[in-house]
């Protein structure tokens, strides 16, 4: 059963959010990926947020762009950790998305990652880190993944 849900406001967010799914796949973490829009499918969003814990989901990665209310609205309806990814928007390059996600009122925490693909990748890694706290095998895979990334960095640049 998937312990990480990856949700996004639109099909157009998938090229960004796929980075979260990919890194979790590399770490052997099953994901449940859905399109859930705060504005276009609010009832679907509420059903998802209220039911996620009972479905066995432990961490939610939520990405949206522009008026990116999705992560905060989900966080308002579940006690599960919500990691928000600001998707890069056309009009304002994702600054709108970032500010829509990051400035939550005290009491409704929503993690906020970097704009775009780096944020999605790191949201996946953070989700894995959270799960690794109670999963020794995943801890080992996460350490190996990070070590491989370090090993891939050359000591000196090449021409
Ligand atoms: C947001 O509006 C979505 O998360 C997406 O980033 C943005 C644009 O959506 P589309 O018009 O491409 O469907 O709700």
Q: What is the predicted pLDDT for the residue at 39?
A: 98
Residue 156 lies in a domain: no
CB half-sphere exposure, 109, CA atoms < 13 A: 7
Question: Is 9 a member of any domain?
Answer: yes
Name which of 31, 128, 38, 145 is nearest 87 in CA terms: 38
The answer, yes or no, to whether residue 58 has pLDDT greater than 90, is yes
Write the residue with the smallest CA distance to atom 3 of ligand 1.
Answer: 9
Cβ–ligand 1 contact at 13 (below 6 Å): yes
Assess whether pLDDT exceeds 90 at residue 103: yes
What ipTM does this complex have?
0.97
Q: CA nearest 123: which of 10, 12, 16?
A: 16
Residue 48 covered by a domain:
yes
143-146-151 Cα angle (round to 5): 120
Q: Give domain status of residue 158, yes or no.
A: no
Percent of the chain with pLDDT over 70: 100
* CATH number of residue 59's parent domain: 3.40.50.1970
The range of the structural domain enclosing residue 145 comes to 4-151
**pLDDT score, position 1:** 80
Per the domain annotation, does 64 fall within a domain? yes
Angstrom distances, CA of residue 94 to CA of 32, 60, 85, 101, 115: 25, 20, 10, 11, 6
* Cα of 98 from ligand 1 centre, angstroms: 14
* Residue 159 forms part of a structural domain: no
SS3 59: strand
Indicate whether 52 belongs to any domain: yes
> How many domains would you assign to the chain?
1
Q: Check pocket membership of 78 for ligand 1, CB cut-off 6 A.
A: no
Cα 134 from Cα 65, distance rounded (Å): 32
pTM score, two decimals? 0.97
């Amino acid at each position: 059963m998937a312990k990480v849900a990856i949700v996004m406001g639109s099909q157009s967010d998938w090229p960004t959010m796929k980075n979260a799914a990919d890194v979790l796949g590399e770490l052997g973490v099953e994901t449940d990926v859905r399109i859930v829009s705060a504005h276009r499918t609010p009832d679907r969003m509420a059903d998802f947020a209220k039911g996620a814990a009972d479905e066995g989901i432990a961490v939610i990665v939520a990405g949206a762009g522009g008026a990116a209310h999705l992560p905060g609205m989900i966080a308002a309806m579940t006690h599960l950790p919500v990691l928000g990814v600001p998707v890069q928007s056309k009009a304002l390059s994702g600054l709108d998305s970032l500010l829509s996600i990051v400035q939550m009122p005290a009491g409704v925490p929503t993690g906020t990652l970097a704009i775009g693909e780096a944020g999605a990748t790191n949201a996946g890694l953070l989700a894995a880190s959270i799960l690794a706290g109670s999963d020794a095998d995943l801890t080992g895979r996460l350490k190996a993944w990070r070590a491989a990334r370090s090993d891939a960095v050359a000591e000196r640049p090449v021409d």
